Chains A and B, each alone.
Chain A
Amino acid sequence: MAQFLSSVPELMDAGLRGSRLPRGRALALRLGAVAAFLALWSLLSGAVVVLRLFNPIFLPGPWLVFGSLLDMAARGQLWIHLAATLERVALGFGTGAAVGVALGLAAGHLPPVRNVVEPVVELLRPIPPLAMLPMFIVWVGIGEASKVGFITYATFFPIFLTTVNGVRQIDPLLLRAAQSLGARGLGLFTRVILPAALPDILTGLRLGVALAFFVIVISEFIGAEHGLGYLINDGRNFFLVPQMLGAAVVLGLLGYAGNGLVRLLERRLTRWQHPA
């Protein structure tokens, strides 16, 4: 057909929408995308060497990065650092989540609790958690406790806030309906309020996991002997860029996995939201 300038809205139509792809194809596309990225990266780092653009140490190719990772894995080093990071994240996030959900449920449901906790949270909320890291170090020293404590502190806020929101957002119509069916007190809480707030709580947990991985790195830069963050920062001393990039990639994968786990949990626990 002629130059269909329906190309303008049409292009925008198709270009803007894109088509819905079936799961299989979407996954294939994702993997293809990663492969394309790796190819581009290899090309660039190769170009740096061949064209002598700058010292190639600054942009090692992906094979160098993976090689470094494999090397560390073989020597057992990688697992030690991975475990250290995971342990801190798990402990910190676990505590932060437990306290956040517990306090959030209480604060969402009981005004007296809310009146005490909310002011403190409001005061601390605008302060980037990273700013408090040195405080934790001053209080508890440079060891594990300060790192875990810091992660707990950082993850507490989003989880607490989304939990409170989840409880308070419940449609009062639902509560009235439940009450007219005889639900009271604890029963009302466990059978109506908790399930209704669950989606929000799970979203908060997902944010918390992301945040935990976000901030763990920096706490491992300062005063750590183990951990992926330590690997990254330590690499600075001898320009071990493959190590730095490799550890960063592993960290990314961990975060991705963590996120995926929570999403899985979400789908199982809130199946009623997406029956499919």
Chain B
Amino acid sequence: MGTTRAMAMLGAFALWAALAHGNAWLGVVNPVLLPTPVEVGRVGLDLARSGELARHVLTSLGRIAQGFGLAALAALTLGLLVGMCVPLRLMTEPVIEFVRPIPPLAFLPMFLVWFGLGEASKVAFIGYTTFFPMFVAITASVLRVDVVLLRAAASLGATRADLVRRVVLPAALPGIAVALRVGVGLALFVIVGAEFMGADAGLGNLIMEGRTFFNPAQIVMGALVLGLLGSLINTLLLAAERRLLRWRTAA
């Protein structure tokens, strides 16, 4: 992350404060439309104190966890199988090629039709959105495993099961880690959108409420919390990845 980035963000924050407060004082634009950090902070604190903020955050995180979790499991199993078996790959390729260009959000209303307005549709949608990119990336990682490593292991007595467990998986792990991280990022990206429609809780819903009740400060607060959450999760995942893959850059 670095101090330069932190300084940059502080700088941006200061800029925002200057613009917003300056505007409020000068009345250039309706001050409601340009909430100041103070106002945003106040909304945030109110929601935090009432426990509402926690509820929305946990709801969103819960949906992400479930949807992403299912998709990750499926992507891992299928990715490994398809990567190692040519006929399977030939069979799944048509499906992928067809579905890939269509933006996942275009299917959101479909999921609402299929699963109704409850939790299931959000979880299923997140699952669908994150599955394909992860599956493609994991398959690619498996395909990239250096054949010479497989030959070396076979010459040391490895059976097929040994090869998968002791060579393919560890060799593909860096790629798999990246795929998972991308999946989480994607989940965070679309959860807001999914929660704009037909949701009664969650950060997306919170943000949409800000629009319905003409409370831009709430919109900004929701967006900032989302950004913070995303950064945090990303940092944690990167740290975990670095520990797990110590062997890449051991010094």
Q: Are chains A and B touching in the complex at the 8 Å CB cutoff?
A: yes
Hey, which bits of chain A sit against chain B, CB under 8 A? 8-9, 11-18, 30, 32-37, 40, 58, 118-120, 122-124, 126-128, 130-135, 137-139, 213-218, 221-222, 228-229, 232-233, 235-236, 239, 241, 244-245, 247-249, 251-253, 255-256, 259
A214 to B93, CA, bound (A): 22
A37 in contact with B95 given A215-B105, A253-B101 (CB within 8 Å)? yes
**A62 CB, nearest partner CB in chain B, Å:** 10
Say if the beta carbon of B84 comes within 8 Å of chain A. Answer: yes
> Interface with A: B20-28, B43-51, B65-73, B142-150, which one?
B142-150
B147-A248 in contact (CB<8A): no
A132 in contact with B223 given A119-B15, A218-B193, A244-B113 (CB within 8 Å)? yes
8 Å CB contacts to A: which residues of B200-243?
A: 203-204, 207-208, 210-211, 214, 216, 219-220, 222-224, 226-228, 230-231, 234
A35 to B83, CA, bound (A): 22
Say if the beta carbon of B250 comes within 8 Å of chain A. Answer: no
A29 to B73, CA, bound (A): 29
Closest residue of chain B to A125 (Cβ to Cβ) is B227
Per-residue contact bits, chain B 132-146, to A (CB 8 Å; 1 contact, 0 not):
000000000011010
A127 to B12, CA, bound (A): 14
**B234 contacts across to A, CB distance below 8 A:** 126
A106 to B177, CA, bound (A): 35
Q: Is the interface of A mostly helix, strand, loop or mixed?
A: helix
Residue from B110, B160, B163, B196 in contact with A245 in the complex, judged by beta carbons closer than 8 Å:
B110
A119-B9 in contact (CB<8A): yes
**A120 contacts across to B, CB distance below 8 A:** 12, 15
Hey, which bits of chain B sit against chain A, CB under 8 A? 5, 7-13, 15-16, 33, 83-86, 89, 91, 93-95, 97-99, 101-110, 112-114, 142-143, 145, 147, 150-151, 154, 160, 163, 188-190, 192-193, 196-197, 203-204, 207-208, 210-211, 214, 216, 219-220, 222-224, 226-228, 230-231, 234
**B219 contacts across to A, CB distance below 8 A:** 131-132, 134-135, 138
A15 in contact with B106 given A8-B160, A126-B231 (CB within 8 Å)? no
Sample of 28 A–B contacts (CB below 8 Å): A8-B160, A12-B84, A12-B150, A16-B83, A16-B84, A16-B142, A16-B143, A18-B86, A33-B98, A34-B94, A37-B98, A40-B95, A58-B114, A119-B7, A126-B228, A127-B226, A128-B189, A134-B211, A137-B211, A213-B103, A214-B105, A217-B108, A228-B106, A241-B113, A248-B110, A251-B106, A252-B101, A255-B101
B224-A127 in contact (CB<8A): yes
Across the A-B interface, the 6 shortest Cβ-Cβ residue pairs? A33-B94, A252-B102, A134-B211, A127-B227, A123-B12, A119-B12
B230-A126 in contact (CB<8A): yes
A122-B5 in contact (CB<8A): yes
A247-B106 in contact (CB<8A): yes
A134-B207 in contact (CB<8A): yes
